[in-house]
A and B are shown apart, each in its own frame.
Chain A
Amino acid sequence: MYPSRFSYEAPTTVKEAIALLSKANGEAKVLAGGQSLVPMMKLRFAAPQILVDINNIPGLAFHSADPDGTYRIGALCRHVDLEKDVELAAQQPTMAAAAPVIADPIVRTRGTVVGSLCHADPQGDWASVMSALGGSIVAEGPNGRRTIPCSDFVNGPFQNLLEPEELAVEATVPPPVGTRAGGYLKLERRIGDFATAGVAVSLELSGEQVVRAGIGLTGVGPSTICADAAAETLVGQALDQSTIERAAQLASDVSQPRSDHRGSEAYKRHIVATFVTRILSNLQPATEQAT
């Protein structure tokens, strides 16, 4: 690989990293797992003058639940950390379903969840998962921290709301108000392929009733799509057939896919509906499922 010339910095604290970013006048890029940035540098689509490598900063490689139930993912938490966490399925079923279908095993070992959110690829899987979960990004800059909801964080393909001198230090998910359930389905042509279409569903249940819901769509719009109307229609309902069908239809309606070599617009809409249906049908209580 022969990228354009760049200089390399390896800060060991968040403060130091922010100072380097502040000094760089927008010419610096944060290097996390490098699984998106480095390929772009190879192709010279990205030519940052300075790379600020955050991998030497201790204390960022975590994922855990606070006592109040807030779930936090540090900037150096790799995809594989979530994939290998056997307790995740009980705590965060949507994340647990998504982690093993991100990229391929090699990429999962290096790539980070927060880096994926920052990268803001419309085909990135984590953005729809975090949108479904109502998650946020915690950004730290020279003036301290601020929290940006994931649904606002991305303001265009490969664009986010971070200021050039800000570092995303973690992603957070609010505490649940019911029992968590959910799933992630992705249509890919091959392991390591980005999604032709992906659907993240997060539910919080009280008994059989949905008390909170979120649906995020991958790869079917100029950025991640929050299918709010589809999610809304589930709230207050049990997962019966007609509710599921309604949600599937609404999610499909709100998607904005483009026809390309992965499939026609109509096909991708159909996949969205099919996946919403499949995830929700899987979450139906056993009695419902049988009918």
Chain B
Amino acid sequence: MTIDEVKIGGLGASRPRVEDNRFIRGKGNYVDDIALPGMLHMELLRSPLAHARIKSIDVTAAWAIPGVRLVLTGEMMASRNLAWMPTLSYDTQAVLATDKVRFQGQEIACVVADDPYIAKDACEAIIVDYEPLPVIVNPTQAMTAGAPVIRDDKENQHDNLIFDWEVGDKDGTDAAFSAADVVSELELHYPRSHPSPIETCGSIADFDRSTSKLTVYMTTQAPHIIRAAVAMVAELPEHMIRIISPDLGGGFGNKVPVYPGYVVSILASILLERPVKWIEDKTGNLISTGFGRDVYLRGQMALRKDGKILGVRMHTDSDHGAFFSDAQPSKFKIGLMHSAFACYDIPTAHLTAQGVYTNKAPGGVAYRCSFRVTEAMFFQERMVQAAADDLGLDQAEFRRLNFVQDDDFPHRTPFGFLTDSGQYGKCLDIGLEAVGYKKFLEQKEEAKKNGRLLGIGISTMTEPLGAGNSREYDILGIKMFDSAELRVHMTGKAILRTGAKSQGQGHETTWAQIVAHELGIPADDVVVEEGDTDTAPFGMGTYASRSTPVAGAAVSMVSRKIRAKARKIAAHLLEVSEEDIDWELGRFYLRSSPDRGVTIQECAMAAYSNVPDGMEPGLENNAYYDPPNLTWPFACYIATVEVDPLTGVWDVLNMVAVDDCGVRINPMIVEGQIMGGLTEAYAMASMQFITFDDEGNCVGSNYMDYLLPTAWETPGFELHEVVTPCPHHPIGAKGIGECATVGGPAAFVNAVMDALKGSGVRNVDMPLLPDRVYEALTTSRDVSGAPPIRTS
């Protein structure tokens, strides 16, 4: 009688992904697949210069090209009060440039035409007269006295500083440092990178004058936020705005912000009363949309001779580009940077942070991380390795010595977060065993005698995932909860909708599994829908690994509400009182006579055919979920490498990952997330970055220069798991979408640095391109990766 949960696709089932059915058949429906009757095409003209005053823009020739319907410049936007828009970080951003261009690739004008070829021809026909200005590409230049003020549009802005911010206990930390036997130091740059989803950004705005309704198909990870933003910024009535985010070809944080292209396409559709499609090209995406990282970190660790960490100091200088438009929901200026060192038992810490404007693209996004957690964990793990080396201690044992212990939860981190669960030592043990730690150390010594350089790097971390709780997280004041709506039909099939928005995470598969777990309805009987603001309930979207922690929890909660109502119906059908029945997966039964029972499907039918007197018919509900805390997954990544001393080329010999993300809904999907994340970690460590020359030209504006690793280079990964359920999540799950991207890079870099150990080099900035590694080896000096890139 008992239902096998895995068989019905419940928790723990590696159920094949439902969405893959259409994706592998080429039947996905992306924004660019949509064609509306009478649709026009929009193209943006972008600035070739990084910093220049606009003296004039001549659009006459563009207008003269047959098939051109509209040419818009900043001046015309300004006349509608739309030349600037507010950002998610309470700054302003130019929609189309009026006074100056402030980064290469900035949007200057747009053309709407009958087809995209004409639109592109017409963009080329626009003549812009520029007066070049000095260019700033890093924080040092930005903060040099007399540096040109990039944001001279802002009344009270007289330099390039955006914020000065601090957190932690300065005096306590100073005291810890006075008491230290050894102080370790480290300084590094986490380079700018770009999430680079294969599908670029795009939109089709369709304003229908006859109904006054604005429908926008848009590549967005957060359709409801966009609806709110359009309502507030464009002052259109919210019920007349419908945002549809169809299938997304990846997001990784890149599709959270509001971009000028969206705004201009909406205005163009309103002006022309025809659908207007804008599809960004790859270069446009890489040079103008939300990047990740670009933070300079330095810090110190106060240590006792026996290996105990007494305190930590950190300072960050972050480069936000020309507009402060970080898409981050926390109350903290530098995101969750201060989640650093959360897995270690450290009494005190202090962080100072400074953010600056530069002549680079704006729109910092959490590229597959909770905001700035990637930089935090990278610094943490590089610092930990440096400290272990300075003390002459084994890097694994040094970590173990300082880990928060299993019985020490809830634990207050040095910067004030509250972690709630974990088995850090166990994860480390499994990782060391899997990689053959002791044996590798011997091999390494042996190889050294033959002039071969082997290295091993460890990265262990717990990170805060699942923004957020409504106390500390909001976007423009909107609280960060999520909701789910479940309708069970009379035959026991169901439709579930959430305000999250899958972009590869597999929600259509996993949400149905949560329903199966809560109600015993087979996952195949539950269809999942997201992404249409007219039909989906409110939600803050998918990023920061928040879907399972927040929307997923809402799915559990709404299922439980349904179950509660079904219980009343069951009692009615069994002609007993509610207290006399119990629940097992998919069925209520009489406690005194377990053979007598009704299935959830029978309850569903009764909800529409035989409800008890006084009960509202139907079996549907919704639930809002405001998480009490973030979730804290833990990971241990260990990489081994060999470095070629004559070329600086390094190869990964082995990569072991031990992830504890609590209860796994769909183990296969979890493993996919980890492998994807490790690939991105390897990418950051080895090749993938966006940099700039001294004129502000973006190096990395296409896939020949912006290197994404392919299956050829990407090493194999060996995955292991530990399960420590999240104490506050309804099914014990923690976020997992980002752990490997966050924690992985340090494992690779630590491994290469370990191979270089003894050379006197403390740091080589990512990516560890062969020439950088070779330079470090031969000069025994640290290698900085900060822009501008060297030219002869």
Contacts and interface: CB of A to CB of B under 8 A. Distances in A.
A241 B713 CA distance: 33
B707 A190 contact: yes
Interface string B682-719: 00000100010000000100001001011011000000
A114 B21 CA distance: 42
A261 B792 contact: no
B79 interface: no
Contacts of A193: 704, 707
Contacts of A274: 646-647
A187 B710 contact: no
Interface string A92-115: 000000000000100000000000
- Chain A interface mostly: loop
B409 interface: no
B774 interface: yes
Give the interface residue-count category, chain B. 20 to 34
A190 B713 contact: yes
Interface in B261-299: 283
Interface of A: 2, 4-5, 43-44, 104, 187, 189-194, 196, 258-265, 267, 270-271, 274
Residue from A4, A190, A193, A270 whose CB has the most chain B CB atoms within 10 Å: A190
A44 B713 CA distance: 31
Contacts of B775: 264, 267
B704 A258 contact: no
B709 A190 contact: yes
Interface stretch (B116-124, B222-230, B399-407): B116-124
- Chain B interface mostly: loop
Given A5-B117, A260-B790, A261-B691, A196 B709 contact: no
Nearest to A185: B647
A273 to B, nearest CB: 9
Nearest to A277: B646
Contact of A262 (B124, B647, B709, B769): B769
Contacts of B791: 258-260
Interface string B117-148: 10011001000000000000000000000000
Contact of A263 (B120, B646, B699, B771): B771
Contact of B790 (A190, A259, A271): A259
Contact of A196 (B691, B713, B771): B771
Contacts of B709: 190
6 contacts: A5-B117, A43-B283, A187-B647, A260-B789, A265-B792, A274-B646
Contacts of A264: 771, 775, 790
Given A194-B704, A258-B792, A274-B646, A187 B770 contact: yes
Interface of B: 116-117, 120-121, 124, 283, 646-649, 687, 691, 699, 704, 707, 709-710, 712-713, 769-771, 774-775, 789-792
B710 A191 contact: yes
A263 B769 CA distance: 9
Contact of A187 (B283, B649, B790): B649
B774 A44 contact: no
A261 B283 CA distance: 19
Contacts of A2: 116-117, 120
Contacts of B712: 104, 190-191
Contacts of A196: 770-771
A259 B691 CA distance: 15
Contact of A4 (B121, B769, B774, B790): B121
Contacts of A263: 769-771, 774
Contacts of A4: 121
A262 to B, nearest CB: 7
Given A5-B121, A193-B707, A194-B704, 11 more contacts: A2-B117, A2-B120, A187-B647, A190-B713, A260-B792, A261-B691, A261-B789, A262-B769, A264-B771, A267-B775, A274-B647
Q: 9 closest Cβ contacts across the A-B interface?
A: A263-B771, A191-B712, A259-B792, A2-B120, A267-B771, A261-B789, A190-B707, A258-B792, A274-B646
